[in-house]
Structure 1
Amino acid sequence: MKPARTKTPRKPPVKKGSQTSLKDPVGVYCRVRPLSLPEQECCIEVINNTTVQLHTPEGYRLNRNGDYKETQYSFKQVFGTHTTQKELFDVVANPLVDDLIHGKNGLLFTYGVTGSGKTHTMTGSPGEGGLLPRCLDMLFNSIGSFQAKRYVFKSNDRNSMDIQCEVDALLERQKREATPNPKTPSSKRQVDPEFADMINVQEFCKAEEVDEDSVYGVFVSYIEIYNNYIYDLLEEVPFDPIKPKWNSCSTPMRNTDFVPPQSKLLREDKNHNMYVAGCTEVEVKSTEEAFEVFWRGQKKRRIANTHLNHESSRSHSVFNIKLVQAPLDADGDSVLQEKEQITISQLSLVDLAGSERTNRTKAEGNRLREAGNINQSLMTLRTCMEVLRENQTYGTNKMVPYRDSKLTHLFKNYFDGEGKVRLIVCVNPKAEDYEESLQVMRFAEVTQEVEVARPTDKAICGLTPGRRYRNQARGGPVGDELLVSEVVLQSFPPLPSCEILDINDERTLPRLVEALEKRHHLRQMMIDEFHKQSITFKALLQEFDNAVLNKENYVQGKLNEKEKVISGQKSEIERLEKKNKTLEYKVEILEKTTTIYEEDKRNLQQELETQNQKLQRQFSDKRRLEARLQGMVTETTMKWEKECERRVAAKQLEMQNKLWVKDEKLKQLKAIVIEPKTERPERPSRERDREKATQRSVSPSPVPGDVYKTRGGGQSVQFTEIETLKQESPTGRKRRSSTGAPAQPDGTESEWTDVETRCSVAVEMRAGSQLGPGYQHHAQPKRKKP
């Protein structure tokens, strides 16, 4: 089974018309350190000077059940195990120092896992200096004779520089020499012998085309980013005998008997560049002084003994080299006292802390928290690179999370186009670092696809040609040109030989005399010509003086006119500035008023929306209530319509019954009136009548008629026979006639004596009514309905 080979994917094609010429990709280099032991298993192989191959080690496959894979990664250049520090410096750091001298910024990272050789690459070892001392050596070799005197340039707290005159600089030098300041290194001091050999760089390196018409000043600063806090490693904390010293057990360091420094804050200057506020900047004049400052801060840097490295860096360190450049004045001797003409460039050398899994370092407590912060800051750096690549590749506009970490926030200007960015990926080829090395390679692959805007050249404007022509202007050697006297001597005829070998020689002396006479005559002619030319030259010079005087008068007049115009323009500018300030004040007031009105408008709109929503809810409730009431009205209307119909029908039936009853009554009355008088039946005895009445009250006889159910649920009776009802007094008292009829022979009164009496006992028969106790039914013959 052949191992799978994969290559780094190529970058997507760039669209035509894009400004690719104004951007440069981040330069990513790879350095492979040699194995500590020859018998160790290796997982990284250098294919050529631009490609490395990463293959899965045997132990990783057995533990993770993984397949054997070989992955190739491409870099701008790969440095193998036999690469020297000088070769690495010439390729990576030399161009950055050259840009620094020419006013451009630079940023150099060393990135990798713990034990991959980052600090060795940056600092070096005794006898083999790293990138940092070589950068300092090249810088001072280039500008050593053009440096300004100490304290001519003075750092301020706003990430810029001020210029002092020679007198102020001299006074400050005398003051500092009288009171030695440990911050200011001295060239007479000796560097720590432990790293004295690091700055003894044997190879002489110097930048080309250094501007000799300017003076330079070098300032260095040294900070570290620990647990996402920034500390100044050059800050001298005053000793306090009352407060206890910092215990080295909490943060293991070399020589940790000092008070812990205070963390610093990031600020943004007027040019929108990030800087550390209150950071100590030390002016240095030589490589020895600069490295002394570096080593003083290096002894304060936080390191610890971990499972992977005895002296593992627990923080990100940043060594800044700031070069200040200013042009000379018109005389070419002093610095031009104009702050606007100062050019400041900076080279930042960053030694990142190692990234590795915490289970490999066996970290606990503070070590675990430190490792978590280191991995978090490096993860933020990776995220920023990925977002930058995505924005540039796909044209998106995602926000780059620079502020998530102090490391990325400090260097955000470099990725926005303030200088070149270089990254040295240090890898350890041993098999135990395979997984971490794989993550490092992936990060390098993403980073080298990020493009950074190319910085523009900064022009330095001086008022004089400078040191180059200063010697010539002061009477120095002109060059290989011949003098005027030599030219005149060459124009004279040559002298003949003056040697006389014979006493009888009469030709040598006459020829010599003749030659001397010719030379004398020629000399006399040249003197005359010289006098004539001198007279002519004096006349021309006089004319030239007159012309220059006239020209000066003319120019002076013009200058006076221009000065008047300039003064008028200045007054106009002052008036416009005042007007501008007034307008700015008005604009500010209007902006505030507009802000207030907009806030009121938003509040009113919100209130209006709230009222509209409330009205909508009320309108919806009203519609629902109307629908409900409409349903209730409809239901009630239908109910009452049915009830009215029922009542009307019942009333009609009742009226019909009443009309029928009236008709029946009339018929009865008519029958009574027309019917002949009959004999009165025998009156039963009182006891019989009482018994009968009792029987009738208990069990009344059925009604002579038909019973019908009405529409309203009741009953109606339609009589088919005429009944005569008679009521007897329960007490046996006889009913008297209203007309005072005479009594019967047996002593009782007759109730049927006349028509009136018979009509008075007629009872109104109502539909559905029941007869009360004491009434008797006297059935009449059935009659047919008319």
Structure 2
Amino acid sequence: MMKPARTKPPRRALAKKPSNNGQKDPVGVYCRVRPLSPSDQECCIEVINETTVQLHPPDGCKVNKNGEYKETQYSFKQVFGTHHTQKDLFDVVAKLLVEDLIRGKNGLLFTYGVTGSGKTYTMTGSPGQGGLLPRCLHMIFNSIRDLQAKRYVFKTDDKNGIEVQNMVEALLDRQKRDAQPQIVPKTPLSRQKPEPEFADMINIEDGCKVEDIDEDSVYSVFVSYIEIYNNYIYDLLEEVPIDPIKPKPPQSKILREDQNHNMYVAGCTEVEVKTTEEAFDVFWKGQKRRRIANTQLNRESSRSHSVFMLKLAQAPLDADGENVLQEKEQITVSQLSLVDLAGSERTNRTKAEGSRLREAGNINQSLMTLRTCIEALRENQMCGTNKMVPYRDSKLTHLFKNYFDGEGKVRMIVCVNPKADDHEESLQVMRFAEMTQEVEVARPVDKPICGLTPGRRYRNQAFKEELTRRLEERGGPVIGESEEQTAIELLFQSFPPIPSCELLDANDNQTLPQLIEALEKRRRIRQMMSEEFTKSVTSFRSMLQDFNGVVAAKENIAQGKVTEKERTIISQKSEIERLEKKVKTLEYKIDILEKTTSIYEGEKRNLQQDLESQQQKLQRQLSDKRRLEARLQGMASENAMKWEKECERRVAAKQLEMQNKLWVKDEKLKQLKAIVTDSKSERPERPSREKDREPKVPVRSISPSPVSYPGNPVSQPPHNPDTPARLQLHRRSNSCSSISVASCVSQWEQKTPQHYSESKVAPNRRRRWEPESARKSNTGYQASVVQAELQEDQALRVSEVFCT
């Protein structure tokens, strides 16, 4: 026989959370600046306005790579300066979270910052200045004071759930609790005087409360307090039996996931509290067990992350408005987590060693994991990626995974210290806060409506008050406040007592008639009461019908208003969506314009730098041009002077040359005249050498003698006074009887070569022997040149005449 194939069991359907149409809200990030201590002189943080702070780098701090000082501004949802009080911070940040808690929505509030920035003060407060935690407790119990269920009506299970018990089970649990020894933190049933160390913290005069609360439901508050130390979770409310011989260290807890995929601490102690004093007493007991240490930067430095969780359970009343509905599906559980994160610190400043160094490393590692998760969420939401978020790398991020991936409101308060020593750490905190604002969390859904008629609680109270009034009018007993007395017992007390029915004798004729009479009276009273009850029921039914009619009319009016409001809300939502899309489009355009503006500004700076460099180059070129012009002008003037001197020199040289030529021509003319006049005379005999060596007396002529100067002493040709200056004449031909002029000139040139060559070869030498008057007067030189040319022309004409 073949066995049927074994198949896998069907997968359990996951519980689906009600959706809210994908609406999301950004994480609200607020900034709080603590006052500057008297020992610190320099401040590096300045509050610009209600939403902006500015960081100033202190002296000696280089921010960017270029080594320049850079001031940065960061924007938040709201900035709280030193003049803001704890109440101002609570009204803006935590009040809305408490209202959402009572309406069945989850919330997360945590403080973040460096060590010594005021995170614990913001969360807990100080005497006379209660922090966020006591103010949240005060507002919760001030809102549900008369609407709380009896103790143990709501009971927690081991799987992060809440169960509802009936009155008998709750009474048994109360009796058992009173009988057993104290193991868990036992809060008193009646109000006691709080401890003096935190009495001023919870003495809050402001009676703020939630106005629109569901009065047809009952509420119960459960608190738990844990710490995350060295990435381990410890229960601060756990009562461990004290063993003086061998004390046991506290056991760490583990994280689990419930059926709604919410993370919770398994085995964590949850205490039901009924007043603000009880809740803060439980918190203070856990606070004493929290790990703190004294460091160089903070006298009471938190060495762990603390999480105080407020869990509010609420369930509607039944149709009679008397008892709580027992269906578990009708129970609404909401949770508000108040987290005081340990401050980030640098070991080179705290000088931590040993266990303190290990604690600081784990604190910084968990904060770094939180930052990594925020960065991954931001990248997934902005870029549309599906990058894995490393929640499991730290117990802190793993515990609050459902807030970021699920739904609920998340608020963060960034606490900063304005002193200059914390500038670098504050800069990193500001960058993380700015990045966190871009993360969006799903908006929580509204609490489901049970469908019962509203006003059930007050209708039941009105019925009891009316019954009490009727009984008072009839003289009957009044319904007291005791739980054991009921309306039926009070009715039976109004009947006449039954006489003794014991028959002492067979002839007793009084007992039976008395009994019959008493029973007859009771019957008449019962009949009368029945008629009265019928009338009362009829009148009450008519009154109830009238009341139901009025309520129905009011409900119809309210429903119409609600429908109208819903339409308005839908139109406003559509308008909001349109405006959000428009805002995103405008933000995108603004980003593009900012980037374009930055590019243009960069190009403008580059062009300005180029323009400045070109202007500087142009200025240098202009200065060089001016210097060159001045130099050229100097050179031109110098060259002009040189050329002027050169021209003068050349004119003088030309004048000397023309004078020499003129003298030579004059001499030629003289010789020619002498030849012409003595042509018919006989040829003279040649003188002897001795006679030639004798000095000759120069013959004066009409033309001026050549100018003599040291370089070229030009003298007249020597003449012998005894011998006449005659030249030998030769005939050119037999046909010509006259003497050749050319031959005469050549003979004369042969006899006077020295004077002629010296006049041509050594003009510079003659120039040195030039008289001073000839060198200075240009007019005289020019006139002499003209006169020499005229004489030369005259000589040429004479020679032509002789030749002809």
When normalised by structure 2's length, the TM-score is: 0.54
1:208 alignment partner, SS class: coil
**In 2, are the aligned partners of 1:213 and 1:464 still within 8 Å (CA)?**
no
**In 2, are the aligned partners of 1:331 and 1:464 still within 8 Å (CA)?**
no
Residue 68 of structure 2 corresponds to residue 70 of structure 1: no
1:153-232 equivalence runs, <5 A: 153-181=154-182, 182-186=184-188, 187-232=190-235
Match of 1:531 in 2: none
Match of 2:236 in 1: 233
Match of 1:371 in 2: 360
Query: CA offset at residue 400 of structure 1?
Result: 0.5
**In 1, are the aligned partners of 2:217 and 2:315 still within 8 Å (CA)?**
yes
Match of 2:148 in 1: 147
Match of 2:265 in 1: 276
Residue 370 of structure 2 corresponds to residue 397 of structure 1: no
Residue 318 of structure 2 corresponds to residue 329 of structure 1: yes
Match of 2:86 in 1: 85
Percent identity, please. Answer: 77
Tell me, in whole angstroms, the C-alpha distance in 1 between the residues paired with 2:383 and 2:217. Answer: 45
Match of 2:458 in 1: 468
Higher strand share: 1
Query: CA offset at residue 178 of structure 1?
Result: 2.5
Corresponding residue to 2:415 among 388, 401, 426: 426
1:715-755 per-residue CA deviation (whole Å, 9 max, x = no partner) reads: xxxxxxxxxxxxxxxxxxxxxxxxxxxxxxxxxxxxxxxxx
Corresponding residue to 2:429 among 427, 440, 454: 440
1:157 alignment partner, SS class: coil
Identify if the C-alpha distance between structure 1 residues 392 and 20 changes in structure 2 by more than 3 Å, giving closer, same or farther. farther
1:95-114 equivalence runs, <5 A: 95-114=96-115
Match of 1:120 in 2: 121
**In 2, are the aligned partners of 1:61 and 1:68 still within 8 Å (CA)?**
yes
1:518-556 per-residue CA deviation (whole Å, 9 max, x = no partner) reads: xxxxxxxxxxxxxxxxxxxx9xx9xx9xxxxxxxxxxxx
| Counterpart amino acid of residue 131 in structure 1 | L
Query: CA offset at residue 260 of structure 1?
Result: 2.5
**In 2, are the aligned partners of 1:303 and 1:311 still within 8 Å (CA)?**
yes
Identify if the C-alpha distance between structure 1 residues 123 and 434 changes in structure 2 by more than 3 Å, giving closer, same or farther. same
Tell me, in whole angstroms, the C-alpha distance in 2 between the residues paired with 1:461 and 1:417. Answer: 24
Corresponding residue to 1:310 among 259, 280, 299: 299
Tell me, in whole angstroms, the C-alpha distance in 2 between the residues paired with 1:274 and 1:21. Answer: 22
1:48 alignment partner, SS class: coil
Residue 290 of structure 2 corresponds to residue 301 of structure 1: yes
Tell me, in whole angstroms, the C-alpha distance in 1 between the residues paired with 2:230 and 2:176. Answer: 39
Identify if the C-alpha distance between structure 1 residues 107 and 426 changes in structure 2 by more than 3 Å, giving closer, same or farther. same
1:28 alignment partner, SS class: strand
**In 1, are the aligned partners of 2:224 and 2:270 still within 8 Å (CA)?**
yes
| Counterpart amino acid of residue 459 in structure 2 | Y
Query: CA offset at residue 20 of structure 1?
Result: 9.8
Tell me, in whole angstroms, the C-alpha distance in 1 between the residues paired with 2:249 and 2:192. Answer: 26
Identify if the C-alpha distance between structure 1 residues 385 and 50 changes in structure 2 by more than 3 Å, giving closer, same or farther. same
Query: CA offset at residue 391 of structure 1?
Result: 0.6
1:162 alignment partner, SS class: strand
1:343-384 per-residue CA deviation (whole Å, 9 max, x = no partner) reads: 000000000000011111101010000000000000000000
Query: CA offset at residue 37 of structure 1?
Result: 1.1
Tell me, in whole angstroms, the C-alpha distance in 1 between the residues paired with 2:243 and 2:31. Answer: 47
Match of 2:17 in 1: none
Match of 2:281 in 1: 292
Query: CA offset at residue 424 of structure 1?
Result: 0.2
Tell me, in whole angstroms, the C-alpha distance in 2 between the residues paired with 1:462 and 1:219. Answer: 27
**In 1, are the aligned partners of 2:257 and 2:263 still within 8 Å (CA)?**
yes
**In 1, are the aligned partners of 2:57 and 2:70 still within 8 Å (CA)?**
yes
How many matched pairs?
Answer: 449
| Counterpart amino acid of residue 97 in structure 2 | L
**In 2, are the aligned partners of 1:153 and 1:161 still within 8 Å (CA)?**
yes
| Counterpart amino acid of residue 359 in structure 2 | E
1:134-167 per-residue CA deviation (whole Å, 9 max, x = no partner) reads: 0000000000100000011111110001111101
Identify if the C-alpha distance between structure 1 residues 364 and 208 changes in structure 2 by more than 3 Å, giving closer, same or farther. same
Identify if the C-alpha distance between structure 1 residues 82 and 214 changes in structure 2 by more than 3 Å, giving closer, same or farther. same
Structure 1 gaps of 5+ residues are 1-18, 246-258, 478-537, 545-786
Identify if the C-alpha distance between structure 1 residues 65 and 296 changes in structure 2 by more than 3 Å, giving closer, same or farther. farther
Tell me, in whole angstroms, the C-alpha distance in 1 between the residues paired with 2:53 and 2:161. Answer: 43
| Counterpart amino acid of residue 169 in structure 2 | D
1:577-588 equivalence runs, <5 A: none
1:485-500 equivalence runs, <5 A: none
Tell me, in whole angstroms, the C-alpha distance in 1 between the residues paired with 2:64 and 2:239. Answer: 51
1:220 alignment partner, SS class: strand
Match of 1:48 in 2: 49
**In 2, are the aligned partners of 1:220 and 1:320 still within 8 Å (CA)?**
yes
Identify if the C-alpha distance between structure 1 residues 393 and 178 changes in structure 2 by more than 3 Å, giving closer, same or farther. same
**In 1, are the aligned partners of 2:64 and 2:70 still within 8 Å (CA)?**
no
Match of 1:677 in 2: none
**In 2, are the aligned partners of 1:125 and 1:198 still within 8 Å (CA)?**
yes
Identify if the C-alpha distance between structure 1 residues 452 and 176 changes in structure 2 by more than 3 Å, giving closer, same or farther. same
Tell me, in whole angstroms, the C-alpha distance in 1 between the residues paired with 2:332 and 2:395. Answer: 26
Tell me, in whole angstroms, the C-alpha distance in 1 between the residues paired with 2:207 and 2:325. Answer: 31
**In 2, are the aligned partners of 1:28 and 1:423 still within 8 Å (CA)?**
yes
Higher helix share: 2
Identify if the C-alpha distance between structure 1 residues 65 and 476 changes in structure 2 by more than 3 Å, giving closer, same or farther. farther
2:310 alignment partner, SS class: strand
Match of 2:563 in 1: none
1:10-57 per-residue CA deviation (whole Å, 9 max, x = no partner) reads: xxxxxxxxx997010000000000001175200000000000001111
Tell me, in whole angstroms, the C-alpha distance in 2 between the residues paired with 1:206 and 1:476. Answer: 30
Tell me, in whole angstroms, the C-alpha distance in 1 between the residues paired with 2:457 and 2:424. Answer: 58
| Counterpart amino acid of residue 232 in structure 2 | Y
Match of 1:133 in 2: 134
2:290 alignment partner, SS class: coil
Identify if the C-alpha distance between structure 1 residues 434 and 71 changes in structure 2 by more than 3 Å, giving closer, same or farther. same
Query: CA offset at residue 449 of structure 1?
Result: 0.4
| Counterpart amino acid of residue 59 in structure 2 | E
Tell me, in whole angstroms, the C-alpha distance in 2 between the residues paired with 1:341 and 1:20. Answer: 23
Tell me, in whole angstroms, the C-alpha distance in 2 between the residues paired with 1:231 and 1:376. Answer: 18
Identify if the C-alpha distance between structure 1 residues 62 and 352 changes in structure 2 by more than 3 Å, giving closer, same or farther. closer
Identify if the C-alpha distance between structure 1 residues 285 and 471 changes in structure 2 by more than 3 Å, giving closer, same or farther. closer
Tell me, in whole angstroms, the C-alpha distance in 2 between the residues paired with 1:191 and 1:234. Answer: 18
Tell me, in whole angstroms, the C-alpha distance in 2 between the residues paired with 1:260 and 1:119. Answer: 26
Query: CA offset at residue 60 of structure 1?
Result: 2.3
Tell me, in whole angstroms, the C-alpha distance in 1 between the residues paired with 2:179 and 2:440. Answer: 51
Query: CA offset at residue 462 of structure 1?
Result: 5.6
Query: CA offset at residue 330 of structure 1?
Result: 1.9
Tell me, in whole angstroms, the C-alpha distance in 2 between the residues paired with 1:411 and 1:338. Answer: 29
1:737-785 per-residue CA deviation (whole Å, 9 max, x = no partner) reads: xxxxxxxxxxxxxxxxxxxxxxxxxxxxxxxxxxxxxxxxxxxxxxxxx
Tell me, in whole angstroms, the C-alpha distance in 2 between the residues paired with 1:361 and 1:286. Answer: 41
Identify if the C-alpha distance between structure 1 residues 331 and 218 changes in structure 2 by more than 3 Å, giving closer, same or farther. same
| Counterpart amino acid of residue 336 in structure 1 | L
Corresponding residue to 1:384 among 370, 373, 393: 373
Tell me, in whole angstroms, the C-alpha distance in 2 between the residues paired with 1:329 and 1:20. Answer: 31
2:259 alignment partner, SS class: coil
1:169-191 per-residue CA deviation (whole Å, 9 max, x = no partner) reads: 11111221233535121144443
The ranges of structure 1 where at least 4 consecutive aligned residues each deviate by more than 6 angstroms after the TM superposition are 62-65
Identify if the C-alpha distance between structure 1 residues 101 and 63 changes in structure 2 by more than 3 Å, giving closer, same or farther. closer
1:650-661 equivalence runs, <5 A: none
Tell me, in whole angstroms, the C-alpha distance in 1 between the residues paired with 2:342 and 2:27. Answer: 20
